[in-house]
Structure 1
Amino acid sequence: MATGRANSVEVISERGRIIGLWKSGMPMREIALTTGVSQRSVQRWIKRFEEEGLLHTKPRSGRPRVTTPVDDARILDAIEHQPLTSTVHHTLSFPVILAPPDDGSTRQIFNVISRPLKKI
């Protein structure tokens, strides 16, 4: 099962609400207006539910995460305690991404550092 916001409890609940309204006989257009979701999305989720019985999104292609959320927290904690230490040094101190600094692992540390900044 895919993870992330698309499969959060709130989003799954909203999809369940869409299916519940549809099963009670409400037209798709009215479901879209009631829920604030596009009519196309309502149609898509009803179709997926009819065909597969799913309310979760399907796994997507792409590179899997290198670090876990726990690793990310450890990296951020280390950087907060040693802010003047180079990214290369931090890269070498984490075995989960231990590799020569030129293979992209330094970039991984940078990505972990940047994630919280993007959410602000």
Structure 2
Amino acid sequence: MGWRAKPAGAYGARVHIVADAGAPSPATQASYREHLRVPDLSLGTYSLPAGGTDPQRPHSEDELYLCIAGHARLWTPTATAEIRPGVVAFVPAGEEHRFIDIAEDLTVLVVFGPAEGTRAG
């Protein structure tokens, strides 16, 4: 389960270690687990099974995806890109996107800036 960071200095330090970020989550459907939330960003792990469907809708925050495992394509209205381990993809706030053609169980780290849902109206 994720946690919310306390204000700077509340733990006696500003650095927070998230040891389980990117750990695959065996799932038969899309799964998202938040690991860290501070006002300016949030971090989570998103997992999709091979052959699965990505149900996400556009977010009100910018996103970075870092592929940890698996293979798929990231679709947007203007482009489609191969996603495999080591690939980083940026999706601006409001852009329609989803993972398609999920050939292998997919695990990506997701960074939202600012934190997910903070711009939602």
TM-score range, shorter-chain basis?
Answer: under 0.3
When you count strand as a share of all residues, which structure comes out higher?
2
Q: Using CA pairs below 8 Å that are at least 6 residues apart, which structure has the higher relative contact order?
A: 2
TM-score (ref. length: structure 1): 0.20
Structure with higher Rg: it is 1
TM-score (ref. length: structure 2): 0.20
